[in-house]
Structure 1
Amino acid sequence: MKKIVTILGARPQFVKGAVLSRVIQKHNEIEEIIVHTGQHFDANMSAVFFEEMQIPKPKYNLNINGLNHGAMTGQMLEKIEEILLVEKPDAVVVYGDTNSTLAGALAAQKLQVKVVHVEAGLRSFNMQMPEEVNRILTDRIASLLSCPTEVSVNNLKKEGFGSFDILIEKHGDIMKDAVEFYSKVSEEKSSIISDLNLTKNQFVLATIHRQENTDSKEKLTNIFKALEEIHKIKQVVLPLHPRTKKMLEKYQLQPNITFIEPIGYFSMLELLKNCCLVVTDSGGLQKEAFFNKKFCVIAREETEWKELVDNGYASVSGTDTNKLVSDFNRFSATTKSFKEALYGDNVGEKIYQSIKKLIQ
């Protein structure tokens, strides 16, 4: 039986990885070994997390976290190489743009093991972002690039990937499969809407955690001023990221919105399903808003998900208070159908068939 090693390092990657794992188990033709680098240490990722999410438990847990980029990537590279020498896989699968992604790809490539990069071709065109560096380097050393959108395919073509010995395939966005699967059970698993006494379509879901925003007093102040203005119109509910909490305290900011503790994936899905709009600086949440038919105000200067903006479902609003508020008001008055199928369907199955072809 052919074998793949899947490298995961953060909770969103486990959710995406679970989609492909389910397809692999269904076909029972390929053995999958899961490695958790431990990059994003998350106390919620206990045995209960894996059981509830129906995610296979990792065979290896490297517990590498809390280090600077170089040290973290270097330690992961060393440990993953040791695992690959033992497991001898036919391919290594990596997701997204974390240090775990790059370390897994590098370790595999150095040992002449084929690399599959899921979520390939995404670009923010901001080289100050560590994620941008990780995704570009991973794309270049992969054997199979699984692209979520036409935009991501075109990004690769513009960079000359068409002349490299690399398979480029548009499969769609694997997170769409995950949202569809877990949406069926999230209401049973989470009571957050009743716990917070929220009414459907009467609140805004916000998340702010990106370092470029939290580390700037001016940017963070502007964003939260906008959220306070929005809160006067519709209640703003914000699960507070530890980094954001720390910086709000440091800058002595006390915004008048509804803060809640960090939440699990099922609760986040319930908030997404029931909110009227999303304000975020997260990458993944922009798409999840679209999957749940919600408009999204992006508190960043760029987005990797350009098609959301081009089709009128999101705005790149930056950190200007007035722009954030005006984009919220504009979307609040918009009635659009969310009819475009921007991210494909049955994505996990398509990725699986391409991996099978790659390693046969």
Structure 2
Amino acid sequence: MTGRAPVAVVMGTRPEAIKLAGLVTGLGDDALVVHTGQHYDAQLWENVQADLPGMHVDEHIHCGGRSRGEQIGMATSEMTRFLSSRDIRAVVVQGDTNSTLAGALAANALGLPLVHVEAGLRSGDRRMPEEINRILVDTLADLCCAPVERNANQLIQERVTPDRIVITGNTLWDAMAMIRPTPQGTAQALDSLNVPPGDYVLATIHRAGTVSDTERLVGLLDGLDALAEQAEVVFPVHPRTSAAIAEAGLSGRWQRIHMVQPLPPSQFMALEAGATLLVSDSGGVQEEACFLRRPLLVLRDSTERPELLDGWCRLLGDQDPAVAIDRAWADARQWGADLAIRQLPYPGESASSVIAAEINRRWPA
């Protein structure tokens, strides 16, 4: 750390770390990284740091394993205490997690400038805790970093003044430049998991709204299990999903699905890059699939990234999961070929550099 006033970069989950890695690198010694502990086990956190060059943590707050309200309250309190003890020139949060909201509330409580990376995303579904988090954080932010023009227009509709908005592109571009999935990496990842080479599906299910609904979770896994009769289905199991399956007494029900432990980002992206089809309820996977030009069935009713509904991904909606998954698999090869020649909806440049420059311009050290 230099003698200059640092920029606090708050993160709590694996996707936040991935999408903020380029900014942490860009800020250099000025980055003061605070980890809330929302993700805290080896698979979801420690392996992430090892995969991201330059990623470090300066302060740990242990708020993981609690309810949403408890996480937000504890993380806000502990971050307020920590940030008040330092000469901070700005606070950066990313996305829509509990940690994002807690960092925003702490910055607001202390009167510190707040920067929201990935601002202006909206699904229109207020049942999702993430949607509420996004709206609240954008309301508080002094600088809203919108990935694309659509997001900036959304903020303007919500009466965020233009001087608080900058269109930056997507910081995932920087993370993928660091990790760089390759065909060799895909082959090594498959071999390490004892998955034969050839066509395969990579699937993830982790969102609280999906996992907490046992009937919905069972329907999704039954659909994947049916597809596994004709294709290899690789399924890294999130700890929340694993716990839900065990609590429902359903462990061992889906024998045809190749279930594995959560994977480090580099290994997971290598598998994404080689997959014939992706099936996921993740927001981050939507963007990764786009940059990697892989077909994706989104296991949700809505998305906060509507720019990707123009052929880049499909929503499950109220369709029967088994039917939708089977149809996506049938279309996947031609779908992937079509994506290979399309123009990406995100700028192919470093969003992290744009954000770092904007922070330094507005709040010099």
Identify whether the pair has TM-score above 0.5, normalized to the shorter chain.
Answer: yes
- Find the counterpart in structure 1 of residue 134 from structure 2: 135
* Cα-to-partner distance string for 1:168-202 (whole Å, 9 max, x where unaligned): 11111101210122116895699322223445551
Find the residue that maps to 2:38 and give its secondary structure: coil
Cα shift at 1:142: 0.5
Q: In structure 1, how many angstroms separate the alpha carbons of the residues matched to 2:274 and 2:55?
A: 29
Structure 1 residues 221 and 189, CA gap change in structure 2 (3 angstroms): closer
User: Quick check: 2:181–2:273 contact (8 Å CA) kept in 1?
Assistant: no
Q: State the Cα distance separating 1:151 from its structure 2 match.
A: 2.3
1:151 touches 1:306 (CA, 8 Å); kept in 2?
no
Q: Distance in 1 between matches of 2:342 and 2:167?
A: 20
For 1:114, the equivalent position in structure 2 comes to 113
Aligned partners of 1:174 and 1:347 also within 8 Å: yes
By relative contact order (CA 8 Å, sep 6+), the higher-ranking structure is 2
Give the superposition deviation at 1:127. Answer: 1.2
Counterparts of 1:63 and 1:215, CA distance in 2:
23
Farther-moved stretch of structure 1 (113-122 vs 241-250): 241-250
Does 2:92 align with 1:93? yes
**CA–CA distance in structure 1, aligned partners of residues 128 and 117 of structure 2:** 19
1:24 correspondence with 2:27? yes
1:42 Cα deviation from its structure 2 partner: 2.1
Residue 359, structure 1, aligned to residue 363, structure 2: yes
Structure 2: segments with no counterpart, 5+ residues: none
Structure-2 residue corresponding to 1:261: 261
1:293 maps to 293
In structure 1, what residue type is equivalent to 2:265? Y
Mapped pair 1:10 → 2:13: yes
1:152 alignment counterpart: 151
Give distance in 1, aligned partners of 2:191 and 2:133.
40
Q: Give the 3 Å change call, closer, same or farther, for CA 94–186 of structure 1 in structure 2.
A: farther
The one-letter amino acid paired with 2:360 is: K
Greater Cα offset, 183-192 or 173-182: 183-192
Q: What is the rounded CA distance, in whole Å, between the counterparts of 1:16 and 1:186 in structure 2?
A: 23
Once residues 46 and 211 of structure 1 are traced to their aligned partners in structure 2, the CA distance between those partners, rounded to angstroms, is 18
2:40 is matched with 41
Alignment of 1:234-249 (within 5 A): 234-249=231-246
Amino acid of the structure 2 residue aligned with 1:172: G
The residue identity in structure 1 corresponding to 2:235 is L
Change (3 A) 1:186 1:234: closer
User: How has the CA–CA distance of structure 1 residues 207 and 52 changed in structure 2, closer, same or farther, with 3 Å as cutoff?
Assistant: closer
Mapped to 1, the partners of 2:21 and 2:358 lie a distance apart of 17
Greater alpha carbon shift after TM alignment, 177-186 vs 125-134 = 177-186
Letter of the 1:300 partner, please give it: R
Q: How does 1:1-360 map to 2 (within 5 A)?
A: 1-25=4-28, 31-44=30-43, 50-161=49-160, 164=161, 166-183=163-180, 191-198=188-195, 202-249=199-246, 250=248, 252=250, 254-255=253-254, 256-310=256-310, 312-318=311-317, 320-321=320-321, 322-334=323-335, 335-336=337-338, 337-344=340-347, 345-360=349-364
Work out whether residues 193 and 270 of structure 1, in 8 Å CA contact, stay in contact via their aligned partners in 2. Answer: no
CA contact (8 A) 2:51 2:179 kept: no
The change in CA–CA distance for 1:45 and 1:58 in structure 2 (over 3 A counts) is farther
Partner-residue secondary structure (3-state), 1:301: coil
Q: In the aligned structure 2, how far is the partner of 1:326 from the partner of 1:191?
A: 29
Secondary structure at the aligned position of 2:54 is classed as coil
In 2, the alpha carbon distance for the partners of 1:211 and 1:106 equals 22
| Compared CA separation, residues 152 and 338, structure 1 to 2 (3 A) | farther
- Shift in alpha-carbon separation, 1:140–1:237, aligned structure 2, 3 A: same
**Whole-Å separation in 1 of the counterparts to 2:83 and 2:176:** 31
Aligned-partner Cα distance in 1 for 2:48–2:210: 29
Which amino acid is the alignment partner of residue 358 of structure 1?
A: R
CA distance in 2 between counterparts of 1:282 and 1:314 reads: 12
After superposition, the Cα gap between the structure-2 partners of 1:262 and 1:104, relative to the gap in structure 1 and judged at 3 Å, is: same
Distance in 2 (CA, whole Å) between partners of 1:222 and 1:46 is 29
Question: TM-score, normalised to structure 2's length?
Answer: 0.89
**Post-superposition shift, 1:327?**
3.1
Paired residues, what number? 353
CA contact (8 A) 1:145 1:166 kept: no
- Residue 204 and residue 144 in structure 1: after superposition, are their counterparts in 2 closer, same or farther (change >3 A)? same
Q: Matched residues in 2 for 1:245 and 1:231: separation?
A: 19
Q: CA RMSD in A?
A: 2.3
**Which runs of no fewer than 5 residues in structure 1 stay unpaired?**
none
Does the 8 A contact of 1:186 with 1:269 survive in 2?
Answer: no
| Identity among equivalent pairs (%) | 31
Cα drift, residue 93 of structure 1: 0.5
Structure 1 contact 208–282 (Cα < 8 Å) conserved = yes
Change (3 A) 1:235 1:52: closer
SS across alignment from 1:270: helix
